[in-house]
Structure 1
Amino acid sequence: MKRTGLVVFVLIMVGMLITNPLTEDYVEWAAGELKKDQNKLIEIGIDLAVVPYLSAKTDRSNWYIFSLYRTQSFDGSIITTVGVMNQFIVISGSDL
């Protein structure tokens, strides 16, 4: 029984390692969150201005099974997001 639990644990960890999102995944997700309920003109502005800003102002800490993203917003505050299993959860700062 202990061996089965260990195998399941290892499989979960390997799955988390494989699905640890990259910075590009985070930027794509954040831009998508900002585009929600916007008109086409604003969506174009987000693609042209905000996506490069997010790429430049985001630092990623890779913990192998998850990543922490810290993004400096326009007003200077820091938004911290956890990326795990190709999902993103904002843990501090403003909601995107």
Structure 2
Amino acid sequence: MPGAYDRSRRAAVAREISPNFDKALSAFFGTGTPDPVGAPKGSHDAYVMALRAHGTEVEILDALDTHPDCCFVEDTAVMIEGKGTHQNLGAPSRVGEEEAVRISWKDC
């Protein structure tokens, strides 16, 4: 239902799109080749702007050239009310993405 969602989140972490996004795992799941970097970058920028428009402070982490899926930070960790958990990323190409998110949590 539009407008019924909780928009009281105070902070979020996002990461820039990897220049190697065209090698992201979506091809692994049979969804075809990911879009070139330009299209996802526009969507990502709009997502960050929407968060900020609702008063959310957004920390933007640098892209990781060696991790095409690095922009999906929600896969690496979940934090609610000051408590969080890190996820084990199953794909070998994603291992290592979580470290920068873990470091950013130290400020929370």
Structure number having the greater helix percentage: 1
After TM superposition, the score normalised by the length of structure 2 is: 0.26
Of structures 1 and 2, the larger Rg is shown by 1
